[in-house]
Structure 1
């Protein structure tokens, strides 16, 4: 509920601070006194866009602040989602700067207007004849029926499952699109994969093959050089082995004479052993080397294949080619397994469809069971409000598709006159009738769900005294479970309020200002008497005012 409102430097308001109570509050004032200004300031708190013309003094900023008790509204999740700091006593502040920029704060944290509007819709419902179009909205009509049918939990469950269903459908559609594209590429990918598989790729194979190719391609030259090495090592005249053997024997004879000759002997002996190993390897290599034209051709063919594949796939080595092969294997495997994947996804969707159908049927049955009760209550209230022949024809019809709130379409038809044809509300009801229908619906809703503070802005325009009396009774009854404001020109309604505020204009230092004041009992008598008989109050008007208040 709205507990206080502070307005500074807005339109004709210089500085206004007022506290509000629970229950039924009345706001009265002469035409042009500034009731619309008050509503305009409140609308800024609810997220309406502001402009520089709102400032009373354009050299100063405008500040509007409202305090709400939100402890009964179950708004913790909304505060969390929108990033507000939750406080049972929530303060909303709007500032309009002389530059024309505006700022909004919830519990001193800056917020954007979209978030403020979401919160505002949960706090105050400002209702006038011009806003009864909500009544003709099919979504709102469903909300009314679902509130009476106690469908909140089932509706939440349905919407949760619908979200899962849509995600599954999206995934299936993506799979089908992917499959269509994959089928086009499948044959080509399979061809590329087979090329790489047939190449028998092995890490490091390229370097090994290149070395083997160099050997086989130059085998005669290698043999010639190995033969020369063999001769240089083994020739009796100049060979390294005979020469080192003689050198070894020479130092062996000297080694007994001095340790320094022994060291030379050991070094020559080591060299001889190493050269002897080299000689053995050369001899073995000579024996093993053979020209092999067939193997040379095989190696050459494999190298060409590898280089062609590397060029085709724009890779630098065998490792990267192996990665390409693995990627192609995955693509081909995915394509070949898509039928199974799609089948599983379709099974999930079928299972989800069953869950949704069950929940939708629960919603449908409760709606069907609730409609006679809603119809009866509406027609009964409207009869009291001067519409004795008002009739409703409300039907829900099941459809095949899943909608955001079930599988129902709603026909909400109205006839104002006996024997008249039924038609849509916006075509069958006048503005005044729509106002009374909305009042009836809100009064019914207030018994089933916690509604936000509601402010009726001259909803009683154009109705008779007796009907206005009934309207006042309805608003008074609603105020037992919620905070209700009524901006009214009718004394019958004004007298029913628990609290009465008056909007008035006054000139201060030759400047017109709008103010709002809470009336005590005696002031209420005067205000209601003036509403009954004008500024020049008669004793009968005062007596009548007292009678109304009592």
Structure 2
């Protein structure tokens, strides 16, 4: 509930501070006294865009601050989602600077207007004849029916399931689009993959093949050189091995004379061993070397294949070709397995559809049960509000589509006159009738759900004294479970308030100012008497005012 409101430097308000109580609070004042200014300031607290023209003194900033007791509003999750400190006594402050910039704070945390609006709509419902269009929207009509049907928890479950359903549908759509695109590329990817598979790629193979090709392609020259090396090493008497053997024997004979000769003997012996090993290797290579045109052709063909693949895929080496092959295998595999994936996704959607149908049927059945209760209560209240022939025809048709709040299509029709045709509210009801219907609906809702503070702004315009008396009774009844404000010109309603505030204008230093003051009992008698008979109060008007208050 709204516990206090402070306004500084706004429109015709210089400085104003007022504390409010629970129950029914009445706000009265002459036309033009500034009730709309008060509402304008409050609207800024609720997230309305600021206007530099609102500043009373354009050299000073405007500050509007409201304190709310939110202990019964279950708003912790909202504060957490908006990253705002949660306080049972929540303070909302709005500042308009002379530069035209606007700032908003909730519990001293800076917030943007969207956060302010989100919280504001959970705190105060300002209702005037201009807001009755809300009544004509399907969304609001469903909210009313669902409140009576106690559908809150089942609707939450439905919304959670609907989110999952929409995610699955989106995933299926993306899979089908991917499949359509993949099918176009599938044949080409398969062709490329088969080329790479047939190439039997082995990492490092290219270098080995190039080396083997060079050997096979130059085999005669290599053979000739190996023969030459063989003779250099092994020619009788003058070959390298024979020469080293002679040296070895010579130094062996000298090794006994000095360690220097022994060292030379060891080095020659080591060289002879190494040279003998070289000779064995040359001999092996020579024996194993043979002309193989078939193998040369095979190696040449494989090299051409690898070089063509490297060029085709702009790859640097065979290892990169292997990576490309793996990617192609995955693409081809994914494409070939997409049907299974799509089928599984469709099965998930089918399962989710069954769940949603079950939940939405529950919602529908509970609405069917609630509609007669709503119709009966509405028509009963409207009889007392001067609409004895008001009738509603409310129906829900169970459709094939999932909507945000179930599968129902709502028909909410109204007839104000006996024997009249039923039509949509916005076509069948006048502005005054819509106001009374809205009051009736709000009074019904207050019995089923915790409504925010509600402010009725001259909702009683154009109604008779007897009807206004009944409207006042309804507001009084509502105020037992919520904080209610009524801005009114009717004494019958004004007299029913637990608290009574008067908006008035004063001229101070040749400047007009708007003020708001709480009236005591005697001041209320005077105010209501003036509402009954004008400024020149008669004794009968005063007596009537006392009677109304009692």
Report whether the alignment pairs 1:29 with 2:29: yes
Q: Which residue does the alignment assign to 2:13?
A: 13
Q: Which residue does the alignment assign to 2:389?
A: 389
- Give the secondary-structure state (helix, strand or coil) at the position aligned to 2:514: strand
Report whether the alignment pairs 1:209 with 2:209: yes
Q: Which residue does the alignment assign to 1:413?
A: 413
Question: 2:72 and 2:310 mapped to 1: Cα distance?
Answer: 71
Q: Which moved more, 1:236-245 or 1:208-217?
A: 236-245
Question: 1:237 and 1:107 mapped to 2: Cα distance?
Answer: 110
Q: Which residue does the alignment assign to 2:168?
A: 168
Q: Which residue does the alignment assign to 2:314?
A: 314
Q: Which moved more, 1:372-381 or 1:533-542?
A: 533-542
Q: Which residue does the alignment assign to 2:180?
A: 180
- Residue segments in structure 1 that go unaligned for 5+ positions in a row: none
Question: 1:344 and 1:156 mapped to 2: Cα distance?
Answer: 27
Q: Which moved more, 1:472-481 or 1:72-81?
A: 72-81
1:22-421, aligned counterparts within 5 Å? 22-421=22-421
- Give the secondary-structure state (helix, strand or coil) at the position aligned to 2:279: helix
Report whether the alignment pairs 1:522 with 2:546: no
Question: 1:163 and 1:190 mapped to 2: Cα distance?
Answer: 38
Report whether the alignment pairs 1:531 with 2:531: yes
Q: Which residue does the alignment assign to 1:450?
A: 450
1:461-496, Cα deviation, whole Å (9 max, x unpaired): 111111111000000100111110000011111111
Question: 2:230 and 2:421 mapped to 1: Cα distance?
Answer: 122
1:58-107, Cα deviation, whole Å (9 max, x unpaired): 11111111111112111111112222221111111111111101011111
Question: 1:363 and 1:443 mapped to 2: Cα distance?
Answer: 23
Question: 1:393 and 1:301 mapped to 2: Cα distance?
Answer: 87
Report the alpha carbon displacement of residue 339 of structure 1 after superposing the two structures with TM.
Answer: 1.4
Report the alpha carbon displacement of residue 239 of structure 1 after superposing the two structures with TM.
Answer: 2.4
- Give the secondary-structure state (helix, strand or coil) at the position aligned to 1:49: coil
TM-score (norm 2): 0.99
1:362-416, Cα deviation, whole Å (9 max, x unpaired): 1111111111110010001000001111110101111111111111111100011
- Give the secondary-structure state (helix, strand or coil) at the position aligned to 1:447: helix
Q: Which moved more, 1:283-292 or 1:175-184?
A: 175-184
Report the alpha carbon displacement of residue 237 of structure 1 after superposing the two structures with TM.
Answer: 5.0
Q: Which residue does the alignment assign to 2:471?
A: 471
Q: Which moved more, 1:267-276 or 1:233-242?
A: 233-242
Report the alpha carbon displacement of residue 351 of structure 1 after superposing the two structures with TM.
Answer: 1.0
Question: 1:476 and 1:429 mapped to 2: Cα distance?
Answer: 25
Question: 2:48 and 2:379 mapped to 1: Cα distance?
Answer: 35
Question: 1:214 and 1:523 mapped to 2: Cα distance?
Answer: 117
1:117-161, Cα deviation, whole Å (9 max, x unpaired): 111111110000011000000110000000000001111111111
Aligned residue pairs: how many?
A: 550
Question: 1:18 and 1:229 mapped to 2: Cα distance?
Answer: 116
Question: 1:241 and 1:3 mapped to 2: Cα distance?
Answer: 116
Q: Which residue does the alignment assign to 2:498?
A: 498
Report the alpha carbon displacement of residue 236 of structure 1 after superposing the two structures with TM.
Answer: 3.6
- Give the secondary-structure state (helix, strand or coil) at the position aligned to 1:179: helix
- Give the secondary-structure state (helix, strand or coil) at the position aligned to 2:448: coil
Question: 1:106 and 1:238 mapped to 2: Cα distance?
Answer: 107
Q: Which moved more, 1:377-386 or 1:65-74?
A: 65-74
Q: Which residue does the alignment assign to 1:439?
A: 439
- Give the secondary-structure state (helix, strand or coil) at the position aligned to 1:25: strand
Question: 2:94 and 2:293 mapped to 1: Cα distance?
Answer: 92
RMSD: 1.0
1:431-485, Cα deviation, whole Å (9 max, x unpaired): 0000000000000000000001100000001111111110000001001111100
- Give the secondary-structure state (helix, strand or coil) at the position aligned to 1:446: helix
- Give the secondary-structure state (helix, strand or coil) at the position aligned to 2:121: helix
Question: 1:501 and 1:313 mapped to 2: Cα distance?
Answer: 84
Report the alpha carbon displacement of residue 238 of structure 1 after superposing the two structures with TM.
Answer: 4.0
Deviation >3 Å, runs of 4+: none
Question: 1:117 and 1:405 mapped to 2: Cα distance?
Answer: 23
Q: Which residue does the alignment assign to 2:489?
A: 489
- Give the secondary-structure state (helix, strand or coil) at the position aligned to 1:122: coil
- Residue segments in structure 2 that go unaligned for 5+ positions in a row: none
Q: Which moved more, 1:439-448 or 1:48-57?
A: 48-57
1:208-253, Cα deviation, whole Å (9 max, x unpaired): 1111111111111211222222222223454222221122112111
Question: 1:98 and 1:217 mapped to 2: Cα distance?
Answer: 92
Question: 1:71 and 1:299 mapped to 2: Cα distance?
Answer: 86
Question: 2:314 and 2:521 mapped to 1: Cα distance?
Answer: 93
Question: 1:305 and 1:108 mapped to 2: Cα distance?
Answer: 74
Question: 2:263 and 2:10 mapped to 1: Cα distance?
Answer: 111
Report whether the alignment pairs 1:3 with 2:12: no
Q: Which moved more, 1:76-85 or 1:96-105?
A: 76-85
1:251-301, Cα deviation, whole Å (9 max, x unpaired): 111111111221121111111111111111011111111111111111111
